[in-house]
Amino acid sequence: MATPEVDPLLLLRQSIASGSAIIATTSADTSTPTAEVPLFQATHLHFTHPTRVAVPIDAPTRFVSNERPVDLRSIYFAWLNREVAIPEYNALATKLNGELAGAAEVHKFAFVERLDLITWLEGASEESDHIKPLTGEKDGAAAGSTAVTTTSKTVLVSASARAGRGTLDPRLAQIYNGERKMGDRNTVLRGSKPIDFSGVRKVAAPFMSRKPSPTANSIVKNPSLALNQKPQRRPDPIILLSPSASSLLRMSNVKAFLEGGRYTPPDHNSTASMLQIQRKMKDIDPAHAMRFIVVEGPEQFKPEYWNRVVAVFTTGQAWQFKNYRWSNPTDLFKHVMGVYLGWRGDQPPDAVRSFGHRVVACSVEKWRDPGVPGAEASRWRDREVVEQIWKSIEANMRAKGWRKDAAPTSI
């Protein structure tokens, strides 16, 4: 993928963490200041941390989509537009592809790919199913250090830096460079250079094709068969909001409500396309908080994403379900729990009542200007309503098959 000296994906993450400048330019020379140019004109990205280096903007990275590495330009473009809604992001990518005029093409990330990439670049996650590990990490060579060669100096990147958690102090790196390298069990068994065992696959293929795959019963009889099985990570559950302007919950205020327990009016100028909400579901995973993905529409959904939908907020307007997997509300709420949020004292719309008991109707106190005396006195009820909603979601998730380490394969 990336060259052994410089890993573009790791450099980008470290630069973001340090807040250092990343400059798109047409020059590979880092010794003199250069002016920043638009992405369609740029040939290199200049990094200033942890070392000053220029990387070709079309260099492939360890992020893999559809079994193909994604180039640095597409990764950096997705990061610059991380706050942009999905439709606007796709439009900007199409515009950039037009400006490139066939010289290159910006990769358009799928919904979950974009979420995993942004989460990893921000440092909120240390792993991603779409990012291949650096050379040597799988066989334990990650415990060593890798030299990052630049035009001006050499900086050692420690094992923690390989995972994106920082770099060694330059003075300490200079001391390490003068040390006598001692062998460890990894170098004794495998040598100092990575060994390519890809040729063994061709030799082993005829034998593996005739070897029956281990079944559940064989694993129970021989637990050692399961030692090399990579555990699958449980996917994040998804909550769908109503995109209606009359909805009391929108992307701008849903996090404060469901995570903070306080209702505030929505900001209709918000352009966020997805959010993450943390919530501990005690009856599913009492030790860790679960991460919920909140979106307003299923436009970027793959078919399997619907198995992860745990709640649909609705105002009762049928057009909301036009692009859903089940466009008929009666069919939809047989598979997914519905939630209606209205003002206390107001009756739910007739359409919501017709959906039946599968839609949980909740109400909050009407919003009043905090400057009005007594306006804050009724807001304590908000948390009571939030707990009622989460209790219903958790009960529905348990019934659908959500577990600490597993999610339902169909709903």
CA distance 240 to 44: 40
CA distance 185 to 193: 14
Residue 96 lies in a domain: yes
- pLDDT at residue 307 tops 70: yes
Last residue of one domain, picked from the residues 89, 111, 135: 135
pLDDT at 225: 47
Residue 410 lies in a domain: no
Burial class of residue 102 in the structure, from the number of CB atoms within 10 Å of its CB (0-12 exposed, 13-18 middle, 19+ buried): exposed
pLDDT at 210: 59
- The label of the residue with tokens 């559809």 reads 66
DSSP helix/strand/coil, 113: helix
Q: Is the distance from CB of 287 to CB of 281 less than 8 angstroms?
A: no
Sorting pLDDT into bands at 50, 70 and 90, what band is 239? very high
CA distance 151 to 156: 14
Q: Rg of the chain's alpha carbons, rounded to an integer?
A: 26
- pLDDT at residue 231 tops 80: no
- Most distant CA atoms of the chain, gap in Å: 80
- pLDDT at residue 213 tops 60: no
Based on the structure, what is the number of domains in the chain?
A: 2
pLDDT at 141: 37
Bin 255: left if φ > 0, else alpha if -120 < ψ < 50, else beta. Answer: alpha
Residue 405 lies in a domain: no
Last residue of one domain, picked from the residues 119, 135, 151: 135
Q: State if pTM tops 0.75.
A: no
Domain coverage including residue 390? 238-400
Asked whether the CA dihedral 401, 403, 408, 411 is positive or negative, the reply is: positive
CA distance 361 to 95: 43
- Per-residue pLDDT of 244-261, as tens digits, reads 999 999 999 999 999 999
Q: Is 246 found in the same domain as 378?
A: yes
- The label of the residue with tokens 């909050």 reads 364
**E-strand stretches of 244-289:** 274-279
Q: Give the count of beta carbons closer than 10 Å to the beta carbon of residue 187.
A: 14
Residue 35 lies in a domain: yes
Last residue of one domain, picked from the residues 111, 135, 159: 135
**In the chain, what is the straight-line distance between the N-terminal and C-terminal CA atoms, in Å?**
39
Q: Is 264 found in the same domain as 383?
A: yes
In the chain, the amino acid numbered 410 is S
Kindly report which listed range (96-100, 140-144, 328-332) carries the lowest average pLDDT score.
140-144
In the chain, the amino acid numbered 63 is F
Percent of the chain surpassing pLDDT 70: 79
Q: Is 259 found in the same domain as 125?
A: no
CA distance 164 to 166: 6
Asked whether the CA dihedral 278, 279, 280, 282 is positive or negative, the reply is: negative
Residue 1 lies in a domain: no
pLDDT at 119: 87
Q: Is 247 found in the same domain as 130?
A: no
Q: Closest Cα partner for 24 from 61, 64, 58?
A: 58
Q: Is 370 found in the same domain as 250?
A: yes
Q: Is 244 found in the same domain as 108?
A: no
| Distance from chain centroid for Cα 254 | 19
Q: Is the distance from CB of 234 to CB of 407 less than 8 angstroms?
A: yes
Residue 277 lies in a domain: yes
Q: Is the distance from CB of 143 to CB of 186 less than 8 angstroms?
A: yes
pLDDT at 116: 86
Residue 215 lies in a domain: no
Report H helices in 25-85. Answer: 72-80
CATH of the domain at 369: 3.40.50.11990
* Cross-strand bridge partners of residue 294: 239, 275
Q: Closest Cα partner for 138 from 201, 197, 59, 58?
A: 197
C-alpha separations of 258 from 251, 270, 292 in Å: 11, 18, 11
Give the contacts of 30 (CB within 8 A, at least 6 positions apart). Answer: 46, 52, 53, 54, 150, 151, 152
Residue 154 lies in a domain: no
Burial class of residue 38 in the structure, from the number of CB atoms within 10 Å of its CB (0-12 exposed, 13-18 middle, 19+ buried): exposed
- Per-residue pLDDT of 55-104, as tens digits, reads 999 999 999 998 899 999 999 999 999 988 888 989 999 999 999 988 88
Q: Is 389 found in the same domain as 250?
A: yes
pLDDT at 233: 82
Sorting pLDDT into bands at 50, 70 and 90, what band is 224? low
Strand 53-56 and strand 44-47: the pairing is: antiparallel
